[in-house]
Amino acid sequence: MEPIKRVSIVVSHGTLDGVYPGLIMANGARMEGIEAMMFFTFFGLDAIVDKRMDKITVPAVGNTAMRMPGGMKMPTMLGALPGMSAFASYMMKKEIEAIDIPPVREFIEMIADAGGEIYACKAAMDMFHLTEKDLCLQVSKILTVGEFYEKSAGSQIIFT
């Protein structure tokens, strides 16, 4: 088997549990000397929109895998209570910090500094009425899907 040389990671979810897997995989790829490209689309754009990237949360409503402190499964009904999403987000961010994983903004900076490429999806940008000025500085370019495929030639494409 030939080793992986390039990965293209598509991030389409704008929640902590949707954004972090892509960030961790891109960072891990760069640490292993693998070329990494990230393509943020739909709600995943929140991770690279400057005014939103520090406010990403985890949904408590409808999240059947949600756990309470100590690992006990949280009843789905509790997710609908006011403040549960904020509490769940606080707890997840606390656990992320405890295992020395950086916040989203810092992670994006680390990946870009390590040579990872960060792109935004043109269709999603248009749909949400966003412009290049809305994005963080680490975004290299806004790409169409066709341009994404061109840049991804020879890559393993991973959806998170």
Averaged confidence pLDDT in the chain: 89
Report the share of the chain in percent with pLDDT over 90.
69
Break the chain into its structural domains and give their ranges.
6-54+103-159
Pick from 33, 35, 4, 37: nearest CA to 22 = 37
* Distance, CA of 104 to CA of 47 (rounded, Å): 7
Model confidence pLDDT, tens digit, residues 2-55:
899 999 999 999 999 999 999 999 999 999 999 999 999 999 999 999 999 999
Confidence class of residue 115 from pLDDT cuts 50, 70 and 90? Answer: very high
What CATH class has 6-54+103-159? alpha beta
Confidence class of residue 91 from pLDDT cuts 50, 70 and 90? Answer: confident
Question: Cβ(37)–Cβ(152) under 8 Å?
Answer: yes
DSSP reduced 3-state for 91: helix
Section 102-130 average pLDDT:
97
Q: Does residue 79 carry a pLDDT above 60?
A: no
Write out the two tokens for 43: 């709600």
Give the residue with greater pLDDT, 132 vs 98.
Answer: 132
The DSSP output letter for 32 is: T
Write out the two tokens for 118: 């960060």
Section 123-143 average pLDDT:
98
Spatial strand order of the sheet with 35-40 comes to 141-143, 117-121, 35-40, 6-11, 156-159
Write out the two tokens for 63: 């999240």
Pick from 94, 116, 112, 113: nearest CA to 103 = 94
